[in-house]
């Protein structure tokens, strides 16, 4: 299991479970290729969606963080504290 975080400028957005990540990444890619644009980021509820202006010069980082399964947790249930970042994005 993993969580996907987007860092756009200085703001971090965590995508909710079940979101079509490919669609969000396609919107980001299209905005970047167009020289800027508004990208709608889904929120955890209908009241928490965000619209983000992506423009030239704004850094966009996409990070997939592995969340350990219950059987991978240590005896205290806290794991090792080091999530693993995945960098195999199809962009």
pTM of the model as a whole: 0.65
**Would 91 be classed as within a structural domain?**
no
Higher pLDDT: 17 or 86? It is 17
Residue range 12-62, pLDDT digits in tens? 998 888 889 899 999 999 998 999 999 999 877 767 778 999 988 888 899
Domain enclosing residue 61, as ranges: 2-86
pLDDT at residue 10 tops 70: yes
- Closest alpha carbon to 52 in 64, 37, 32, 63: 37
**Would 74 be classed as within a structural domain?**
yes
Between the alpha carbon of residue 65 and those of residues 14, 19, 34, the distances in Å are 10, 15, 29
pLDDT the model gives residue 70: 52
**Would 41 be classed as within a structural domain?**
yes
What domain count does the chain have?
1
**Would 68 be classed as within a structural domain?**
yes
């Amino acid at each position: 299991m993993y969580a996907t975080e987007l860092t756009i400028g200085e703001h971090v957005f965590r995508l909710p479970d079940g979101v079509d990540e490919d669609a969000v990444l396609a919107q980001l890619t299209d905005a970047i290729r167009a020289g800027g644009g508004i990208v709608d980021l889904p929120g955890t509820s209908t009241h928490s969606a965000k619209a983000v202006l992506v423009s030239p010069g704004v850094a966009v980082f996409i990070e997939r963080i592995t969340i350990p399964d219950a059987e991978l947790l240590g005896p205290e249930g806290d794991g090792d504290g080091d999530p693993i970042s995945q960098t195999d994005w199809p962009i």
